[in-house]
Amino acid sequence: MECMRVLSILSSALLAACATASATEDQASDPAIVCPHTDGLIDGPYVTEEATARAIALAIIEQMQSRERQAEYDLNVEDDGAFWTIFQSVRGYPRRDGDSITVMMGGGGLTMRIAKCDGALSSMHWQR
């Protein structure tokens, strides 16, 4: 009987340790975004996924560029903590040519930041 009790305690302790380790790993790989609370409003973050940031950026780009112009660029989305950085890069770059890599600086595409907490758009400009 005593053996069963010890076994039960050990298995409970092992399960608790595994759950804690798993939760710690999840937090380390995806740090939580803490958004300010505003009374009467739903707390964010509203734009937690790359697909949502991409959709917002595309809606803005479609208002500012023709389809022909959009076809010249790839749309890049980078996770910058509390923001998404979205930028257009000239399609086809970087390019590998033997032992060298050719990159394009600028290229005239649109760049913007989207806040994960509230979806606010900032730092929008044309690249040189």
Q: What is the pLDDT of residues 38-91, one digit of tens each?
A: 999 999 999 999 999 999 999 999 999 999 999 999 999 999 999 999 999 888
Separation of alpha carbons 35 and 43, rounded Å? 7
Measured from the Cβ of residue 14, the count of other Cβ atoms closer than 10 Å reads 10
Q: Which pair of structure tokens corresponds to residue 15?
A: 């399960």
Residue 13 has pLDDT above 60, yes or no: no
- Given CA atoms 16, 19, 22, 26 in this order, what sign does their dihedral have? negative
Q: CA nearest 35: which of 121, 115, 124, 112? A: 115
Q: Which residue has the tokens 């390019």?
A: 95
Residue 33 has pLDDT above 70, yes or no: yes
Q: Which pair of structure tokens corresponds to residue 26?
A: 């999840």
What's the confidence (pLDDT) of residue 115? 97
Percent of residues, the chain, with pLDDT higher than 70: 74
What's the confidence (pLDDT) of residue 120? 96
Residue 28 has pLDDT above 80, yes or no: no
Strands of the chain (E only): list them. 73-80, 83-90, 95-97, 100-102, 110-115, 121-126
